[in-house]
Structure 1
Amino acid sequence: MVTKGNPRYVIGLDMGTQGVRCLAVTAEGAVLARASVPLPAQALLTAAKTFEQQPEEWWQATARALAQLSAQLRAANIAVEGGVALCVSGTSGTFVPLDAAHQPLRPALMYSDARAVDEVAICNTQLAELTESMGYRFNASFALPKLLWLARHEAQTWERTAMVAHQADYLVGRLTDVWGISDYTNVLKTGYDLLSDSYPDALSHILSSPAERLPRIVAPGTPIAPLRPEVAAELGLNANMLVVAGLTDGCASQFAAGASEPGTWVSSLGTTLTIKGVSATLIKDKQGRLYCHRHPERGWLPGGASSTGGEVLARNFANVDLAAYDGRAASLLPTNLLSYPLVRRGERFPFVAPQAEGFQIAPAGSVDIPAELAYAAALEGVALVERLAFEVVGELGAPVKGAIRAVGGASQSQLWLRIRASVSQRPFVVPAIADPAMGVAVLAAAGRLHADLGSATRAMVQISQEVQPDPAWISQYEERYSRFKDELRQRGYLA
């Protein structure tokens, strides 16, 4: 913890599915304090296809985390008055209906709540012009189908709804007592038209309600209001600290990794592979493989999620020491196997193929494949999918420049980073703090501690390591990549 002087700092707060995390960060990216508070078990109200949480539990966890943060700052003799701005990220597609007194009318419907299957088709049909212009399709994780479900199945609750608040909107309201405001990223899944900067006229018809129930939209990072005096006093924070409009957690993670300027990209590899970047122009994909958020300042944030990823290790190597396997697999690289490590049926990115199935092709005459060799081939296979993903976004018009920022569990594997860098023929860098709370701290600093988001990112996001492509592997992986695409075409997965 940094304790010298009385630095100016910002606070980034991320409300996740399991709890809240917050950081106090200086203009140089030094973390002065950090706190996290889990949601209680009873806050995870799950049933078949439903996932709800109590907004009051969000607030209680948030208040406790911020109080812990301010206590750490005081213990380090860091002045409360140094706190300049606070920014909140929340899960994308999560919302709660509020009455006229800003009280929740029911538990919040979470992003992973899948009850609104029938409503998805209605939204895609009646908002076809929007989805065509933006290049995406509604699915059950979006807020709008769940809003329509609420209007159709809980009519009395919907009639009493004065406003709809996304997760981050609700917490901003509790912090400032300013309600009915959201940001570009949170409202994409509520049907907001980012091109016209307005809600489509069809929304009022779909929801059978006036558009006034939906929040007013501002750009992420826009000043909203200072903390409520009583909240500042209770939590031990600067009463003049400005709360600014936030982001979805996914966009916040992207900025935490340092991808905030055109051509910069982050690759998140955990259970699945997700890539996100920055483009000066809107990227449209008729196949619906990716969609774009709007950049807080200029441009767009395209991204796509594969069905392939680290899940293959959990499925096929569940009871082994992966670090030890890394050590044994290193001498087997590049392997003589060609692997597409999809463990479920169907792929969504970098190609759309509902019929797709994983495969592993060995040279003719091969009999038994050692587990370490199959493991190494699985690492290579995910890297091949990752290279194809970046090739696709490039073909769609989104430039990919410089090093790829690697986050997610796979970034802890030096071997996998080396494979990925060699397959993609690009350096891979690992950010020191790949946390949404850091991403919204960077956004809070933009325009306050720094001139803009780009300069804030460059100053505050620190890199913990850089991995270069292995020259001895590049030519072999180039040939393997060509074979990989040929095999996908032969199976009808890739055009």
Structure 2
Amino acid sequence: MPKSRFYVGVDVGTSSVRAAVVDDQGTVLGSSVKAIRIWNDQPDFYEQSSENIWSCIISAVRDVMKECKVDQANIKGIGFDATCSMVVLDANFQPLSVSPNGERQQNIIMWMDHRAKKEAEFINSTKHPVLDSVGGVMSLEMQTPKLMWIKKHLAQTWAEAAHFFDLPDFLTWRATNSLSRSLCSLVCKWSYQADNTGRTSWDDDFLGKLGLEELKENCYSKLGQVVLAAGCPCGQGLSQTAADELGLRVGIPVGTSLIDAHAGALACVSCSSSKSQLPDLDQRLVVIAGTSTCHIICSSCRVSVPGVWGPYFSAMVPGMWVNEGGQSATGKLIDFVVEGHPAYNTVRSKAEQKGMHVSDYLNDLLAQLVVKRGCPSIAQLTQDIHMWPDFHGNRSPVADPKLRGMMSGLSLSANDEDLALLYLATVQALAYGTRHIISEMERSGHTVSVVYMCGGLRKNKLYVQTHTDILGVPVVLPDSEESVLLGAAMLGACASGDFPNIQAVMAAMGGCGEVIDPDTSVSGYHKRKYEVFLEMLKDQNKYSDIMASS
């Protein structure tokens, strides 16, 4: 295959847009990042603007094309991924407000928005069979509770709404004018039903029980009538308007989108290793660790895991089921703990003086503490500090948005070393949370022999090694640090026709990775700490029961 074939990948994360140019071997030639706006006008309400996001995409794509000096004639496809946020437009495709303050530009309810608590509780009280596809409990982060919230609280928006998009599907519509939807988005977040018997449909009974029966009108035109698998070409390719905006050719194939975590998983699971033979695909779990964290595993058979989303059929790889665990706040939690500490400004200043990121500075400080205190390892510095990390509720496997964070072992100390220890305890707690999710997956029938890691937190060596040690299995770090962007570009490559299917794209562009092995000397320590971790969950439930008693 000639080296003149390139693809553009666009990733819309929680707080930024990123665009990259990728070649047909999976090499990221360059990338551009643009910050996007978030409104958080009241607790649990998080909103964005689709116009702001598209404007940032235009800027990012133009910048990376200029940086890479690739002739637009050699761009053979473009792919998009995004967070699973909800976009609302009227019949003229104009933004409709999802905000109580009525600002029309605020037309996206973000994935992390937790306003729909009561609606999610009602959905789960129905015990409807549809819930079997989300681990038995629907999260308030999904779109169905948010649809109910809009109908109940924003009557005008509900009356005028003509199009409800998952953000990845909005992007392919904006690029092509095609109203097709991604199977990934619909089955994972919108209660769409698909399985290996050939079923692909909305569930009328479910919508009726939720008071959303009007969404059935015009063959579900507001939700999506044409549903495509990841990487399938959307419409007639890049529209004239979008091509002019992005500085690309009209008609470039646009691949059907994926949710951002699934794009990262797509790129990761096909990554090979020169160090050792990797297990079969259905024993590889991908941890996509950023603001939040997703835990994705494919399987050839249907596996139901209580409290874990899925199983979703063909949501990522055609013909395979997907289960998805998750933590609602990971990178965000680390930032919250670190930046809220009295010593943060001092630590930040010292890190800047050394030209270091704060986390790297804290990692170095922990290494110094091991020597200073005569401790056997960094891990064991937190002997008396324990955390339950669900400051923003538990997504998996407890599936309880009401859970909150807990800490044990706090003191009046507020110096640099104290901050470093709290930071370490936070990283460990997140890794114990991942262990909890994997334990439930394996209890239900999965086997996890290796973990892949991508996302922003994979750059943090302490975060990676801590997870490896606590999980007790090798962690593979793909050579490409931009797995999510690579996954987006793979969708464009699939749509281009340069490859016969998405599996061929994965084989050609997946690349290699470095294997990080666990340190078995701390296994017993982490086993005890994990026991404390699970006891903290029992304690929190006990406290709730006491306070609920009359």
Which residue in the other structure is 2:355 paired with? none
Q: Does 1:198 align with 2:247?
A: no
Please state whether the residue corresponding to 2:25 is helix, strand or coil.
coil
Are the aligned partners of 2:301 and 2:321 in contact in 1 as well (CA < 8 Å)?
yes
Which residue in the other structure is 2:274 paired with? none
Q: Does 1:470 align with 2:519?
A: yes
Cα deviation 1:114-133 (Å, max 9, x = unaligned): 33333223433457220035
1:13 to 6, 10, 14: 10
Which residue in the other structure is 1:365 paired with? none
* Residues 23-32 or 381-390, more deviating: 381-390
Which residue in the other structure is 2:176 paired with? 176
| Separation of aligned partners in 2, 1:278 and 1:384 | 22
Cα deviation 1:312-367 (Å, max 9, x = unaligned): 685267634313224225553262827642255775545568778756689xxxxx
Which residue in the other structure is 1:386 paired with? 434
State how 1:41-56 maps to structure 2 within 5 Å: 41=37, 44=39, 46-56=41-51
| Separation of aligned partners in 2, 1:58 and 1:124 | 33
Which residue in the other structure is 2:445 paired with? 397
Instruction: Give the residue type in structure 2 aligned to 1:94.
Output: M
Shift of 1:134: 4.1
Are the aligned partners of 2:232 and 2:494 in contact in 1 as well (CA < 8 Å)?
no
Q: Does 1:30 align with 2:22?
A: no
Aligned length: 472
Shift of 1:173: 1.9
Please state whether the residue corresponding to 1:13 is helix, strand or coil.
strand
Instruction: Give the residue type in structure 1 aligned to 2:237.
Output: P
Which residue in the other structure is 2:265 paired with? 254
2:527 to 473, 478, 481: 481
* Residues 60-69 or 253-262, more deviating: 253-262
Cα deviation 1:362-400 (Å, max 9, x = unaligned): 9xxxxxxx8577766665554444334323212222222
Which residue in the other structure is 1:235 paired with? 246
| Separation of aligned partners in 2, 1:308 and 1:233 | 38
Q: Does 1:146 align with 2:149?
A: no
Q: Does 1:299 align with 2:345?
A: no
Shift of 1:197: 1.4
Say if 1:152 and 1:424 are closer, same or farther in 2 by CA, change over 3 A: closer
Which residue in the other structure is 1:335 paired with? 380
Q: Alignment identity in percent?
A: 21
Say if 1:204 and 1:10 are closer, same or farther in 2 by CA, change over 3 A: same
Please state whether the residue corresponding to 1:213 is helix, strand or coil.
coil
TM-score (norm 1): 0.82
Which residue in the other structure is 1:63 paired with? 58
Say if 1:482 and 1:350 are closer, same or farther in 2 by CA, change over 3 A: farther
Where structure 1 has 5 or more consecutive residues not aligned to the other structure, the ranges are 363-369
Which residue in the other structure is 2:94 paired with? 103
Instruction: Give the residue type in structure 2 aligned to 1:95.
Output: V
* Residues 160-169 or 220-229, more deviating: 160-169
Say if 1:348 and 1:186 are closer, same or farther in 2 by CA, change over 3 A: closer
Are the aligned partners of 1:383 and 1:423 in contact in 2 as well (CA < 8 Å)?
yes
Which residue in the other structure is 2:548 paired with? none
Which residue in the other structure is 1:367 paired with? none
Are the aligned partners of 1:308 and 1:342 in contact in 2 as well (CA < 8 Å)?
no
| Separation of aligned partners in 2, 1:454 and 1:339 | 45
Say if 1:146 and 1:299 are closer, same or farther in 2 by CA, change over 3 A: same
Say if 1:444 and 1:191 are closer, same or farther in 2 by CA, change over 3 A: same
1:223 to 230, 233, 237: 233
Shift of 1:199: 0.6
Instruction: Give the residue type in structure 2 aligned to 1:278.
Output: C
| Separation of aligned partners in 1, 2:10 and 2:303 | 30
Which residue in the other structure is 2:116 paired with? 116
Are the aligned partners of 1:394 and 1:400 in contact in 2 as well (CA < 8 Å)?
yes
Q: RMSD across aligned C-alpha pairs, in angstroms?
A: 3.6
Instruction: Give the residue type in structure 2 aligned to 1:222.
Output: C
TM-score (norm 2): 0.74
Which residue in the other structure is 1:186 paired with? 185
Are the aligned partners of 1:109 and 1:146 in contact in 2 as well (CA < 8 Å)?
no
Which residue in the other structure is 2:103 paired with? none
Where structure 2 has 5 or more consecutive residues not aligned to the other structure, the ranges are 98-105, 272-280, 348-360, 411-416, 542-550
